[in-house]
Structure 1
Amino acid sequence: MWRFRGPVGARGVSHRELPPLGPSATLVTRAGLGFQLSVVVSRVCQQLVVHVGVDTSAKAIFLEQCGKNRGYRDADIRGFRPADGVCTPGSPEVIASGVSLRAVCQRVAVDGVEVAFSRDAGRYVCDYTYYLSLLHGSGCAVLIHVPPLSPQLPASLLGKVLQVLIQEILAEMGKPECQAWLAENSTPMALSQGAPTKAQIR
């Protein structure tokens, strides 16, 4: 079952474009404030949180491997900007997803749609939200950056691509080495203390 937390990130894409993929994924489609996100992640019982964000300058779909803690200088559309440009003071500079998105990217092929691997999510709302999700979820999250909808990438096609990607991500999670990594880094975190995760760069 998909759980939608707020408005959909890619304009025009709705739950109708994203059929159920099973009980092990939760879709988070809108960047929220840090304290709201930490509550969402702490209450998620599934294995994976998927963030889908729009990059208006992108020509391809990017699988973002990691989130960054510092360098947030621009305010979002509501005027929110992390104090001193830092997500969480005292936390790791970089946190990577426990899923090897490079491996996923190498396997995925969708006619007419380029899918690329990235280690820089852009220091904006998506990166900020992704970092906090990785921090509070012990690396059990991924971020997919998509271009704006267009005649070349209509909502129906984007929905199909996201379905393929998330199925491949779940398949990657099922590999023994990924399961072992997630088990090793799944120590619960006290959100009020903001303790750093054990997740390391993959």
Structure 2
Amino acid sequence: MENNKKTTVVVTGFGPFGEHTVNASWVAVQEFEKLGLGDDIELRTKQVPVEYQQVQKIVPALWKQHNPQFMIHVGVSGMAQTVTLEKCGHNKGYSGLDNCSFCPGTHCCVDGGPECIDSVIDMDAVCKRVRASELGVDVSVSKDAGRYLCDFIYYTSLYLSHGRSAFIHVPPLGEPYTAAELGRALQAIIREIMDLLEHSEEKITCQHQH
């Protein structure tokens, strides 16, 4: 019997915080949602508050409810001038206070968890492919998501999914990209991620068959 179940992809963005009264990450996710990934992909989006305890509730619930092929988290960086693909999440160093003036007592994401978790997605390859597509948006790669809520949500998701997550930093709106340009960039990046995952899984299946 043919399996007609759609592939599910979950994409999150953050709500307002600090000077980011309109968070470019959520605006970019909403623009991307309008574009979609085609009829055969079930796309789910969620705005996450800039609060450690909410991340610890919401991310496991999203994995459990939707069981996605992978999850993409998007955040804004005031320092970013490119759309930045983060390679890994970090477990320690969370001393910055969130919207509730809270930070984890241990400054850790997962007590006893590994120091750093890499995404199973080859971000260098994704970056190279998106750059070659002449999208009009500059894309780069980073190994430091900043030890705040962006890094915290990424590590949480990587830990729960054994690396089947990605994190994308976007610059603030208009610095230099519009909401529509950021939406198109997310679509292009997520398509490349799906393509790479599909091919790496075909390779794994093929190796298991021999």
Given candidates 93, 101, 112, the residue that maps to 2:123 is 101
The aligned residue for residue 57 of structure 2 is 35
Report how far residue 102 of structure 1 moved. Answer: 1.1
SS for the counterpart of 1:52 is: strand
Residue matched to 2:18: none
Residue 28 of structure 1 contacts residue 49 of structure 1 at CA under 8 Å; is this kept in 2?
A: no
Structure with the larger helix share: 2
Range moving further from structure 2, 169-178 or 67-76: 169-178
Aligned to 2:36: 20
Number of equivalenced pairs: 182
Which residue number corresponds to residue 137 of structure 2?
Answer: 113
TM-score (norm 2): 0.75
8 Å CA contact retained: 2:89, 2:151:
yes
| 1:120-131 pair list within 5 angstroms | 120-131=144-155
1:60 matches 2:50: no
In structure 1, the partner of 2:179 is: 155
Identity of aligned residues (%): 34
Aligned counterparts of 2:42 and 2:130: Cα–Cα separation in 1: 20
Alignment of 1:166-177 (within 5 A): 166-176=190-200
Distance 1:28 1:3 in 2: 8
1:108 partner SS: helix
Q: What displacement does 1:17 show?
A: 3.9
In the alignment, the residues of structure 2 paired with residue 7 and residue 125 of structure 1 have an alpha-carbon distance, to the nearest angstrom, of 9
Return 5+ residue gaps in structure 1 as ranges: 185-202
The letter for the 2-side match of 1:20 is G
Q: Distance in 2 between matches of 1:3 and 1:111?
A: 23
Report the CA distance between 1:122 and its aligned residue.
0.6
Distance 1:28 1:175, change over 3 A: farther
TM-score of the aligned structures, taking structure 1 as reference length: 0.78
Q: Give unmatched runs, 5+ long, in structure 2.
A: 1-7, 16-22
Secondary structure class of the residue paired with 1:88? coil
Aligned to 2:69: 47
Give me the whole-angstrom Cα distance separating, in 2, the residues matched to 1:34 and 1:116.
28
Larger Rg: 2
Runs of 4+ in 1 over 3 A off after TM superposition: 1-9, 11-14, 24-29, 177-181
CA contact (8 A) 2:13 2:75 kept: no
Displacement, 1:114? Answer: 1.5
Question: Which structure's residues are more often strand, by fraction?
Answer: 2
Find the aligned partners of 2:87 and 2:164 in 1 and give their Cα distance. Answer: 11
The verdict on how the C-alpha distance between 1:165 and 1:30 changes in structure 2, with shifts beyond 3 A counting, is same
Between the aligned partners of 2:10 and 2:201, the Cα distance in structure 1 is: 27
User: CA separation in 2, counterparts of 1:102 and 1:6?
Assistant: 22
